Amino acid sequence: MRASFPGESQEYRAARDRLLQQEVELRRATEAVAATRRELPPGGTIPEDYVFQSVGGPLRLSGLFSPGHDTLIVYNFMFPRDHTDRRPRPRHGKTALLPLLESPCPSCTALLDQLEGAAEHVAQHVDLVVSAKAPLSRVLAFAEERGWRRLRLVSSLDNTFSRDYLGETDEGDQRPMLNVFRRDGDTIRHFWGSELLYAPTDPGQDPRHVGTIEPLWNLLDLTPGGRPAMWEEQLSYD
């Protein structure tokens, strides 16, 4: 069936057909990238069975795998350790005393708002965990405020997981990394990480390291205005 819509001009249909070919190629490229990702050789074994703080008490990384699941996705939530925590941090080539992030990252929060709805469906196939390098009590209080009920939240405050898996800089700043782990018997290996976060970007582009899983940005990509150039997500809206 050849698609067409009411009132469209021949010029529009010709342009749309050309765009459709690009969309087909994008679909093929997306499938090819996913296939190449699945064919990655075994990644590195985890250096230790990290201990996280969870609602039920201390829980090791191996314990984040549910029975019957061999795949674990961990998102590093950029959450401040303490509202009063201050330390020397470089700024514009100089060292200045600056406060750390004083509230959870709005972009991370927007992403997790969206994953909250998907978490129940994802859990049927793989484990999804959100890790924050902040006291668990503060993370859970924020989750309560946001109405998160399905996301599994843990604290990595007392381990080096974030640093080891590129979710924290040498200066202690948190980064929004997403990492995937695979368990084979008693061995747990790193499978994939969203390293596109650290790759160079073309002018006007954002890293999009987890952009393909965000309904927000993907929906805006379908509109005439596209992604707003200067817009950032907020923690709340009027």
Number of other residues whose CB lies within 10 A of the CB of residue 18: 10
Q: Is the pLDDT of residue 119 over 50?
A: yes
The C-alpha atoms of residue 74 and residue 188 are separated, in whole angstroms, by: 13
Mean pLDDT confidence for 62-74:
97
The C-alpha atoms of residue 49 and residue 59 are separated, in whole angstroms, by: 10
Closest to 37 in 3D by CA, of 192, 159, 225, 150? 192
Model pTM score: 0.88
Number of other residues whose CB lies within 10 A of the CB of residue 194: 24
Q: Is the pLDDT of residue 92 over 90?
A: no
Q: Is the pLDDT of residue 22 over 90?
A: yes
The pLDDT of residue 82: 55
The pLDDT of residue 199: 93
- The domains of the chain are located at 51-198
Please give the C-alpha separations between residue 71 and each of 8, 61, 66, 129, 152, in angstroms, as whole numbers: 47, 12, 9, 11, 15
51-198 fold: Glutaredoxin (3.40.30)
Q: Which residues of 35-58 are buried (b: 16+ CB within 10 A; e: fewer)?
A: eeeeeeeebeebeeebbbbbeeee
Query: Would you say 166 and 195 are in contact if contact means Cβ atoms under 8 Å apart?
Result: yes
Number of other residues whose CB lies within 10 A of the CB of residue 89: 16
Lowest mean pLDDT among 93-102, 108-117, 158-167, 175-184: 93-102
The pLDDT of residue 93: 36
Per-residue confidence at 91, pLDDT binned at 50, 70, 90?
very low
